[in-house]
Amino acid sequence: MKTVGFISLGCPKNQIDGECLLAQLDAAGYTVADPYDGVDVVIVNTCGFIEDAKKEAIENILDMVQLKEDGVVGKVVVTGCLAQRYQEEVLDEIPEVDAVVGIGANRDIVAVCDRVLADETVTEFPAQEELPLSGERVLTTPEYYAYLKIAEGCNNCCTYCAIPQIRGAYRSREMDDIADEAAQLAEKGVKELILVAQDTTLYGKDLYGYLALPELLKKLCAIDGIHWIRLLYCYPDEFTDELIDVMATEEKVLHYVDLPLQHANDTILKRMNRRCTAEQTAELIEKLRERIPDIVIRTTFITGFPGEGEEEFEDLAVFVNEIEFDCLGCFAYSAEEGTPAAEFEDQVDERTKNDRKEIIMNDQYGIMLEKHEALIGESFEVLVEGYDEYSDSYFGRTYRDAPEIDSVIRFTAPFDLNEGDFCEVKVFGVDEYDLIGEAEV
């Protein structure tokens, strides 16, 4: 019996890739185990998007190499975005690694593991298009929710981003293939589907010649057992009126949308190669709120992009305070090798980038607190995620919160609940980022 340890880093899209790797290994007779307990081979499925992600990936690789030197781990395999992006550099810098393979080699992961166990050093980098768009998965999320990848790659070519280089061109999955997987997930007990891609709103354009996300959503809503459908990574320039109508009328589609906007000064947006102006984005948000009054809008911004002076940053800060997003993440710009923006001459110093990030996040905290306090007295359907013995209360999520990135609601209940149950909870307080409530009988 061969054992494999697995560490998956980064975004839900990479997590899905990892789940497909685990399914192949399981079918081939490998047993998944904790690498710290000792395994024949450990796979580090890396992220390589920004500097912090690269540091985390390298730290994990080095940890596994140390376990190898200590005799706890037999072989170390590196997969994912860092491997795809830096290829031979990983082996050059960390020669103790036994295999470095790109995303196109994911379909051959069993052969890769078999080869390193036969003392072969493996480096393989097939075309990104060789990465399968679908496949069997071993879910690493709780059984009641799952991410569902609807497309791979990216065509947007934002000047700060290396994803098109790493992941290749945008490729939509066939609609029936997605629906079949969703039905299989529902049969396994999944109640919440979270749709992901580098750009979910672009779904179907390459396959069908039109933006097919609204049609896909209707198809997924017809699947028995699926209770919630959540949308992430929706670019504003492809957010159509038809999509808004589907969100407004289909009960299973949550009134929650993630719009990665990145900035709100038109000069900076143009330099980023973003296609929406700040005014167009504001108009879309106004339309969303008019058509779906209880919609929750999440976004991300970048501070310190090259050329961002005080005036450009002020435009961003004013936009954040005027729009009042429900959820917001902000990141200091990271100059990534091989991207156009890394070569721009007017780079912003690290301290200024981070100071501006803190300003945005502090402003957002006040906005979020006001929005949460306005929810006191309201009742929400909650997906139960667990029980905390320390606080003697349950915790879960409303439609307003995506797992792992947004808030939770902590609540008491006069009856027993299990993970994956739904119940109605009335909000009576706010604690930092979380809501406090009580289940209704």
pTM of the model: 0.94
Partners of 298 in beta bridges: 258, 327
**3 residue type, one letter:** T
Q: How far apart are CA 269 and CA 365, in angstroms?
A: 24
Is 432's pLDDT higher than 90? no
At 409 the pLDDT is 97
What pLDDT, on a 0 to 100 scale, did the predictor assign at position 77?
Answer: 97
Collect all residues with Cβ–Cβ distance below 8 Å to 173 and sequence separation of at least 6.
Answer: 133, 134, 149, 150, 151, 152
Model confidence at 431, pLDDT cuts 50, 70, 90, reads: very high
Residue 172, pLDDT above cutoff 90: yes
> Looking at the predicted structure, is the pLDDT value of residue 160 above 90?
yes
pLDDT at 424: 98
How high is the pLDDT of residue 51? 83
pLDDT at 32 exceeding the cut of 80: yes
Average pLDDT over residues 247-259: 98
What confidence score (pLDDT) does residue 50 get? 80
- Give the pLDDT mean for 292-306: 98
pLDDT of 276 reads 94
Question: What is the average pLDDT score of the chain?
Answer: 96
Both tokens of 129, joined, read: 């298009």
Name the residue among 161, 146, 149, 109 with its Cα closest to residue 130: 109
pLDDT of residue 73: 95
pLDDT of residue 1: 86
Residue 67 and residue 299: Cα distance in Å, rounded? 39
> How many C-beta atoms lie closer than 10 Å to residue 391's C-beta?
12
Give the number of other CB atoms < 10 A from CB of residue 289.
Answer: 13
pLDDT: is 130 or 50 the higher one?
Answer: 130
Q: How confident is the model at residue 434 (pLDDT cuts 50, 70, 90)?
A: very high
The stretch 125-145 carries a mean pLDDT of 94
Residue 49 has pLDDT above 80, yes or no: no
CA–CA separation, 338 vs 284, rounded Å? 32
Adjacency order of strands within the sheet including 192-196: 145-149, 192-196, 228-231, 253-262, 296-303, 327-332
Reported confidence tier of residue 323, pLDDT bands at 50, 70, 90: very high
Residue 88 confidence class, pLDDT cut points 50, 70, 90: confident
Distance CA 14, CA 19 (A): 9
Please name the residue ranges forming H helices in 28-161.
51-69, 81-86, 88-93, 109-117
User: How much is the average pLDDT of 11-21?
Assistant: 94
Cα–Cα distance measured from residue 9 to residue 62, given in angstroms and rounded to the nearest whole number: 14
The answer on pLDDT for 53 being more than 90 is no
Contact 67, 73 (CB under 8 A): yes
Predicted confidence (pLDDT) at residue 300 exceeds the cutoff of 90: yes
Asked if pLDDT for residue 278 goes beyond 80, the answer is yes
pLDDT level of residue 192 (50, 70, 90 thresholds): very high
Q: Looking at residue 52, what is its pLDDT? A: 85
Q: 47 Cβ partners below 8 Å, 6+ apart?
A: 9, 10, 11, 14, 53, 54, 56, 57, 80, 81, 82
pLDDT tens-place string over residues 364-391: 999 999 999 999 999 999 999 999 999 8
